[in-house]
Structure 1
Amino acid sequence: MASNSNTVEKTTPEVDISGQVESFSIATAPSEDHAHHHHKHHLLHKYNESGETAEDDDHDDACCPRSPVTFGPSPAVEKSHGLTRLLKNNRAWSKAIRERQPDFFEKCSKGQQPKVFWIGCSDSRVPENELLQLAPGEVFTHRNIANVVVGTDLNCLSVLQYAVDVLKVEHVVVCGHYGCGGVAAALGDSSFGLIDHWLGNIKQVKQEHLSNLNEIKDTEEKCRALVEINCRNSVLTVAKTPTMRAAWERGQNVEIIGMVYDIQTGLLGELGYHIKSMDDLQSHLKVDSNALFAARASKAATA
């Protein structure tokens, strides 16, 4: 990777990765009315038990029973997470699921048929099952620091192959999130030890789009922009793998979707990258940050 430390040093403020939780944290408040909460169908959660598409009815538990993952506020409201408390939480969770669906674990033990493969960040604030409101068995997952996908990561590529070739997932979701400590660290030049090797992948993406990133003076906004670029880059890396090429060549119905999660709102946003075939990939061979930043500037001007 070509270095350009002088340029970065003058234009990019140093970012302290150890302070990311504090600097990007938000005050959390309990839901205004948990008693009247209804499960909302997500874009990807629209199937009944037979695997066919179900009608999108927010109140229809028959076609889309509410995920047993979340039953309201987490019981672990204290800061202490000792083994005793963790085991107590697990027993309460298991009991609540069995009371709602007695045969849930029996069915789960017989195999998995997830329709979604999620590639996300290891950040503890981005739990894919929770934010998608999907139950255990419905999301196949690979997570790493800053949801990076590179052609040399045999771990990620092996999970991708299993998800596509064996589980036959229909959606490969690559999801970044705002307030990502890994991306923020890649904006600066500080050394953090072993993790520097991993952050080098993001730094390379940063260098490729440095002129546009340097147009953004606000550090947090610059981080948000790099989060989006990094996620788009990972989407394209997935799309270019032999696994995806082979799947599309044999006519398999599987798409790659780029998303970003906003930890300040709890909402997912789509990045405009839906790649369903090799033809789709041809129009997205490289992340065009010129177009992205032109759109960003236009949106800011009209806001």
Structure 2
Amino acid sequence: MSTAQTEVPISNTDIVNQVEDLKITATEEPHHHRNHHIHHLLHKYNTSKDTENEDENVDQDSCCPRTPVTFGPSPTVGDTHGLARLLKNNRMWSRAIRERQPDFFEKGSKGQQPKVFWIGCSDSRVPENELLQLAPGEVFTHRNIANVVVSTDLNCLSVLQYAVEVLKVEQVVVCGHYGCGGVAAAMGDHSYGLIDHWLANIKEVKQQHQHNLETIKDEEERCRALVEINCRNSVLAVAKSPIMKSAWDRGQNVEIVGVVYDIQTGLLSELGYHVASMDDLSRHLRVDSNALFAARKDNAEALQQQS
């Protein structure tokens, strides 16, 4: 019999603190217009407790012509529904941002100009905007299990093409993370069903470096090494795509970098995988597995001596 987990509520203070961390600065806007937006959002989701101090004479729809639309015979969720908590958190987050910069969402609705395209893992513990301390609109994102990039994934390649050719990003960041469940699953021989097809991409990387991985006796450290090598493989897969070749051929300034995130410390580390041209790609492809693992060992020893 399962035991229900106690849900820890997110307070308004928590939301405000998160927004303040985004370094969004306040700008001037008529007070009554801000209240229009706040009242409208709170009213739409029927949070009477949150609207007690709002002006009851405000025209609820005058400032937001595009009101939420419901398709199908769906009942309004009650206070105990899981969605109610998410909607409440969203309203507090939106309100906190608009208190600091009233025109933030209005400006964002006119387009995006991110400098970074992030390819990361779907793991919920690796939220790119939060760990980079960047606001909405500053990171274009694609995530999948174990941050795998392969030439047959039209989803990932379509996002890459849009990021490079339309948004003109300057950095493609491939981020692996220690403690990755996908990488850990690929380390063994257990069958998981449909996901085995996806994990086969990581297993192929493991086989390419099997000899050097086996020299690492500690299982956790071996998994960390595969996380790093898997990230490198995705960096090279991005670099080998026709999308990047075309971008570099036309002189576009865009670099691919590999980083790893440590969920135990909250810190990012760069892995030394930088590709900004076809020449860079050729140099990386000439580095064999033995050289990679030798460099990894040297770096680890150097870090130990520093500490």
Q: TM-score, normalised by structure 1?
A: 0.73
Larger radius of gyration: 2
Residue 208 of structure 1: aligned partner: 208
State the one-letter code of the partner of 2:245: R
**Greater RCO, CA 8 A, separation 6+:** 1
Between 279-288 and 257-266, report the one with greater CA deviation: 279-288
Q: Is the 8 A contact 2:178 2:224 kept in 1?
A: yes
Residue 260 of structure 1: aligned partner: 260
Query: CA 1:129/1:213 → structure 2, altered by over 3 Å: closer, same or farther?
Result: same
CA distance in 2, matches of 1:192, 1:149: 20
Q: TM-score, normalised by structure 2?
A: 0.72
Q: Secondary structure at the match of 1:99?
A: helix
Q: Aligned ranges for residues 53-132 of structure 1 at < 5 Å? A: 82-132=82-132
Q: Is the 8 A contact 2:25 2:101 kept in 1?
A: no
Q: Is the 8 A contact 1:259 1:268 kept in 2?
A: yes
Residue 298 of structure 1: aligned partner: 298
CA distance in 2, matches of 1:252, 1:224: 34
The answer to whether 1:282 aligns with 2:298 is: no
Q: Secondary structure at the match of 2:284?
A: coil
CA distance in 1, matches of 2:214, 2:130: 35
Larger helix percent: 2
CA distance in 2, matches of 1:139, 1:120: 12
Shift of 1:81: 8.5
RMSD: 2.3
- Count of residues in Structure 1 that have an aligned counterpart in Structure 2: 234
Q: Is the 8 A contact 1:236 1:286 kept in 2?
A: no
Shift of 1:281: 1.1
Gapped regions of structure 2 (runs ≥ 5): 1-15, 27-79
CA distance in 2, matches of 1:300, 1:133: 28
CA distance in 1, matches of 2:285, 2:138: 30
The percentage of counterpart residues that share the same residue type is 79
Q: Aligned ranges for residues 1-303 of structure 1 at < 5 Å? A: 82-285=82-285, 288-301=288-301, 303=304
Q: Is the 8 A contact 1:183 1:226 kept in 2?
A: yes
CA distance in 2, matches of 1:194, 1:159: 23
Gapped regions of structure 1 (runs ≥ 5): 1-33, 41-58, 63-79
CA distance in 2, matches of 1:83, 1:201: 35
Q: Is the 8 A contact 2:186 2:199 kept in 1?
A: yes
After superposition, give the CA deviation of every residue in 1:2-43 in whole Å (9 maximum; x if it has no partner). xxxxxxxxxxxxxxxxxxxxxxxxxxxxxxxx99xx969xxx
After superposition, give the CA deviation of every residue in 1:121-171 in whole Å (9 maximum; x if it has no partner). 000000000011111111111000000000000000010000000110001
Q: Secondary structure at the match of 2:84?
A: helix
Q: Secondary structure at the match of 1:193?
A: coil
Query: CA 1:272/1:299 → structure 2, altered by over 3 Å: closer, same or farther?
Result: closer
